[in-house]
Amino acid sequence: MSKPYVVGIDIGGTNTVFGIVNARGQVVASDSVKTLKHSNFEDYIADVHEGLSRLIKANELEGQIQGIGIGAPNANYYTGEIQNPPNLPWGNVIPLAETVSKAFDGIPVAITNDANAAALGEMTYGAARGMKDFIMITLGTGVGSGIVINGQLVYGHDGFAGELGHVTMKRHNGRVCGCGRTGCLEAYCSATGVARTAREFLEIRQEPSLLNNLDIDAITSKDVYDAAMAGDKLAKEIFNYTGTILGEALADFVTFSSPQAIILFGGLAKSGDLLMNPVKESFNKNIFHAFKGKCKIMISELKESDAAVLGASALGWEAKYHYEAPVAAAAADPSTTAIPVEPEK
Amino acid sequence: MSKPYVVGIDIGGTNTVFGIVNARGQVVASDSVKTLKHSNFEDYIADVHEGLSRLIKANELEGQIQGIGIGAPNANYYTGEIQNPPNLPWGNVIPLAETVSKAFDGIPVAITNDANAAALGEMTYGAARGMKDFIMITLGTGVGSGIVINGQLVYGHDGFAGELGHVTMKRHNGRVCGCGRTGCLEAYCSATGVARTAREFLEIRQEPSLLNNLDIDAITSKDVYDAAMAGDKLAKEIFNYTGTILGEALADFVTFSSPQAIILFGGLAKSGDLLMNPVKESFNKNIFHAFKGKCKIMISELKESDAAVLGASALGWEAKYHYEAPVAAAAADPSTTAIPVEPEK
C-alpha cells in the first residue's frame, strides 16, 4: 500500500529546498540548506538528510514517506545521476538517487531536471490537471521545458529530452547563448535575455526612457518590468520584442506534439499582459492552420515558492529505484529488506 | 486470437494503393485504383472494396484479416475521419474508418496520415525496429513527419501532431509555403523546394550549369539530382543549401524528444550523400551539446513501392474501431455481431 506522504527536493545553484507533501498537494513542512556550502557531495547529502530528518521527526511522519522526488540540473531520470552539471562542484557524474536513497534507508527516489519537475507538479496539482498533452515552459534565468504527451513526461532515449530553450530562433546574427551556440530561444526570452534586449535597445535608440536612469550594465528584467508598468514606452517595446519571439517559438512547438495547452512558469511569466499580449498575438499569427484556436497559452497556477518542491515531490509518488545494501552488509543488518529495482527505461 | 493478415491502404492524391500483408511484413498481394475517379466518396470506397475483395478472394484469405490500416491526408486517428483535406473532393469531414469498416462487414479499421503510417512501418518492419524514440521525416512533394516517443506514435490532443514540415526556418524573406505561411521547412526541403531553390539560384547566378539547358519553369528535383551526379557545381550547391537547412531543422527537433535516430524517407532521401553529407554536417554543427553524438541520421530501409502499404498495414494490427450496424438492422441480420468499440484517445 502506498504511504500518505512524499518528499520533494529542489536542488538549485544557490539553495536546496525540500519539503514534505501530502496527497492533496499541500506542503506540510519545508526547509532549505545552502547548496554550495560543501565541496564534498557526501557532506552535502548528509546536510540535506539531517534537515529533512528533522522535518520528518517534528511532524511525526517516520515510516510514512512513499518516495522522494528530486529536481536538479542535468538530472537523468533513467540513470538517477546528475551528469555534467555546469554549476555544481561534485564531479561529472553524481550518483544522486543512490546516495539519497541510501541516506534514507532505502526510500525510493526518482530524479529529473527542474523543468520536468515543474511540468509534473502542474499536471498533479496545477493548471494542467486532467491534461494528457501539454508543454511547460519555464522562464527564469534560463528557459527550460517539460513536455507531457499521452499523460507521460517525455524523457527521450537518453533522459534529457525537452531542451526547448535551445531551439534556434535567430539563424543570422543571433546572440551568443550560455550553451556556446548562437540565437537560442533562451538568449532572448529568459530573464537575462530581457536584460540583454534592454541593453541592446538602450545602446541603439536615442529616445527618452526611465531605463536611462539606471546603470546599463546592472539592468535586470525586473527593472524593465517596473519601467513598463510605469508606462515607459521603450520598456513596453522590450516586452513586445520578447513576447513576439516567444510566440514564434511556441507556434513551432505545437507542430511537434499538438498540445492542449502551453503553460508558462517562472519570474517572467508573472509579467502578466505585458508579456502575454505579444506572446498570444505572435502565437496566433504564426501557428499552422490545423492547430489554430486549439492550443491555449496559460500561466502556471502553482505558487512559485511551493512550485519547485511540489513539482519534485510529484515524482516521488512513482519513484521505483531504491538503494539496496550490498549482500554482506544485508546479512549483517536484518533491517535492510530493500528489493533491488532497476531505474525504468 | 488475432488473425494472420492485415490490410494496408494508402490514399494518395493520384492513386490509392492497397495490399495484404503478413506478420513478417511481406506484401502478399497488392493493387490500386485511381483516387479521383469518383467524385462521390461512397462510389470511391465501393471501388476500393471491390478491388480489395478480389485480392482477398484470389489469395483465399477470407476471414483472415485482423484489421485494416489506412494512411490518408489529414486523417484523424482519434475520430477516424479525414478532416478538411486540401486535395480530395469528398467534403470537409469524411467518415473514412466507419465507411471502410462497414464495407468490410465490421473488420476493425484505424487511420492516420501517411507520415505517421511511414513511421509505424519503419518501427514494425524497417530501420526503426527495436527503437522506442525516433522521428520519421518524409521528404516528398511536401515534408511530413511521424514522431515515436516511448514506443508510441505521437498523435497530440487532436490527432494531428507531427507537422514538422511547417516549423519556420526563415523568419525574414521566407518563401511562401503551400500552407499560406512563409519560411516553412517544407518550402525548402521538399522535392518542390529543391526545384524552387534551383530556379532561385539560376535567376541570380551567372555561372555555367547543366541546369541552364533546361526549361527553368519545369525543372524538378530529379533534374537537379541528375546534374549533381554528372558533376554540376551549381546542382551540388543546391543540395548543400537544402541539406544545410534540413540539418538545422533536425537539430532543433532533437531538443524536443531526444530521439535515438531521425529517419529520412521519400524521393529526396534517395539522393544519398549529395543530401546526407550536408545534412549531417549542418546537424552536427547545430546540435545542442547534451545531444552531440547521440542521435543517428538514417535513411529508411523500406522499399518505397511497398512502404506506403506496409506503413498503413502496421496500423491494422492494433485497429480497434469497427462499424456496428444499427440495432434494428442487427436484429434483422444475425451475422452482425460487432461489439461497439470507441476509437481510443
Strand order in the sheet with A15-22: A27-34, A15-22, A5-11, A65-71, A109-112
Separation in Å, CA of B104 to nearest CA in chain A: 31
B182 grid coordinates: 512563409
Separation in Å, CA of A173 to nearest CA in chain B: 13
Separation in Å, CA of B124 to nearest CA in chain A: 18
Separation in Å, CA of A336 to nearest CA in chain B: 34
Contact A135, A259 (CB under 8 A): yes
Across the A:B interface, residue pairs with CB atoms under 8 Å apart total 126
Start-to-end CA span in chain B (Å)? 24
Which of A84, A149, A255 lies at the smallest CB-CB distance from B164?
A255
Partners of residue A291 in chain B, C-beta under 8 Å: 158, 160, 163
Separation in Å, CA of B256 to nearest CA in chain A: 5
A29: β partners: A20
Question: Best residue in A145, A258, A262, A345 to probe B by mutation, most B CBs within 10 Å?
Answer: A258
Q: List per-block mean pLDDT (blocks of 10 residues) for chain A, which spans 345 residues.
A: 92 93 94 93 96 97 96 94 89 96 96 94 93 96 95 95 97 94 97 97 93 95 97 98 98 98 94 97 96 96 86 92 74 46 47
Separation in Å, CA of A330 to nearest CA in chain B: 36
Contact A105, A232 (CB under 8 A): no
- What is d(CA B82, CA B102) in angstroms, rounded to the nearest whole number? 16
The answer to whether the CB atoms of A152 and B157 lie below 8 A apart is no
Contact A8, A18 (CB under 8 A): yes
The answer to whether the CB atoms of A258 and B158 lie below 8 A apart is yes
Task: Judge whether residue B338 has pLDDT over 90.
Answer: no
pLDDT score, position B130: 94
The answer to whether the CB atoms of A158 and B251 lie below 8 A apart is no
Instruction: Show Cβ contacts of residue B144 under 8 Å, excluding neighbours closer than 6 positions.
Output: B113, B114, B115, B118, B137, B138, B162, B163, B164, B165
- What is d(CA A242, CA A146) in angstroms, rounded to the nearest whole number? 21
Partners of residue A169 in chain B, C-beta under 8 Å: 171
| Cα angle, residue A338 at apex, residues A343 and A74 outer, rounded to 5° | 30
The answer to whether the CB atoms of B155 and A251 lie below 8 A apart is no
Question: Best residue in A257, A283, A286 to probe B by mutation, most B CBs within 10 Å?
Answer: A257
Sign of CA dihedral A38, A44, A46, A47: positive
Residue with cell 469498416: B101
Partners of residue A158 in chain B, C-beta under 8 Å: 258, 291, 294
pLDDT score, position A336: 42
Which of B159, B167, B257 lies at the smallest CB-CB distance from A156?
B257
- What is d(CA B26, CA B91) in angstroms, rounded to the nearest whole number? 34
- The chain-wide mean pLDDT, for chain B, equals 92
- What is d(CA A71, CA A111) in angstroms, rounded to the nearest whole number? 6
Question: Best residue in A145, A167, A186, A263 to probe B by mutation, most B CBs within 10 Å?
Answer: A167
Q: Is the pLDDT higher at B344 or at B100? A: B100
Residue with cell 503510417: B117
The answer to whether the CB atoms of B288 and A163 lie below 8 A apart is yes
Which of A170, A248, A256 lies at the smallest CB-CB distance from B161?
A256
- What is d(CA A153, CA A167) in angstroms, rounded to the nearest whole number? 19
Contact A338, A324 (CB under 8 A): yes
Task: Judge whether residue B299 has pLDDT over 70.
Answer: yes
The answer to whether the CB atoms of B289 and A180 lie below 8 A apart is yes
Partners of residue A257 in chain B, C-beta under 8 Å: 147, 154, 156, 161, 256
Separation in Å, CA of A207 to nearest CA in chain B: 26
Partners of residue B149 in chain A, C-beta under 8 Å: 149, 154, 156
pLDDT score, position B303: 83
pLDDT score, position A43: 95
Question: Best residue in A157, A176, A345 to probe B by mutation, most B CBs within 10 Å?
Answer: A157
Residue with cell 506514435: B153
pLDDT score, position A284: 98
ipTM of predicted assembly, 2 dp: 0.90
Partners of residue B181 in chain A, C-beta under 8 Å: 286, 288
The answer to whether the CB atoms of B252 and A288 lie below 8 A apart is no
Q: Residues B171-217: pLDDT tens digits? A: 999 999 999 999 999 999 999 999 999 999 999 998 999 999 999 99
Partners of residue B174 in chain A, C-beta under 8 Å: none
Cα-based distances in Å from B11 to B18, B44, B109, B264, B291: 9, 11, 14, 21, 37
pLDDT score, position A1: 67
B106: β partners: none
pLDDT score, position B337: 43
B155-159, B258-262, B266-270, B336-340: segment of lowest average pLDDT? B336-340
Contact A201, A230 (CB under 8 A): no
- What is d(CA B319, CA B313) in angstroms, rounded to the nearest whole number? 10
- The whole-angstrom distance between residue B120's C-alpha and the CA centroid of its chain comes to 10
Sign of CA dihedral B298, B256, B250, B221: positive
Which of A159, A164, A290 lies at the smallest CB-CB distance from B256?
A164
- What is d(CA A290, CA B74) in angstroms, rounded to the nearest whole number? 9
- The whole-angstrom distance between residue A287's C-alpha and the CA centroid of its chain comes to 26
Task: Judge whether residue B336 has pLDDT over 60.
Answer: no
Which of A157, A161, A251 lies at the smallest CB-CB distance from B256?
A161
- What is d(CA A242, CA A236) in angstroms, rounded to the nearest whole number? 10
Model pTM score: 0.90
Partners of residue A259 in chain B, C-beta under 8 Å: 156-157
Separation in Å, CA of A81 to nearest CA in chain B: 14
pLDDT score, position A206: 87
Start-to-end CA span in chain A (Å)? 24
Separation in Å, CA of A56 to nearest CA in chain B: 36
Question: Percent of chain B, pLDDT > 70?
Answer: 94
Instruction: Show Cβ contacts of residue A199 under 8 Å, excluding neighbours closer than 6 positions.
Output: A216, A217, A219
For residue A120, count other CB atoms closer than 10 A to its CB. Answer: 30
Biggest alpha carbon–alpha carbon distance for chain A: 77
The answer to whether the CB atoms of B259 and A156 lie below 8 A apart is yes
Which residue from A minimizes the CA distance to B145?
A256
Q: Residues B102-149: pLDDT tens digits? A: 999 999 999 999 899 999 999 998 999 999 999 999 999 899 999 999
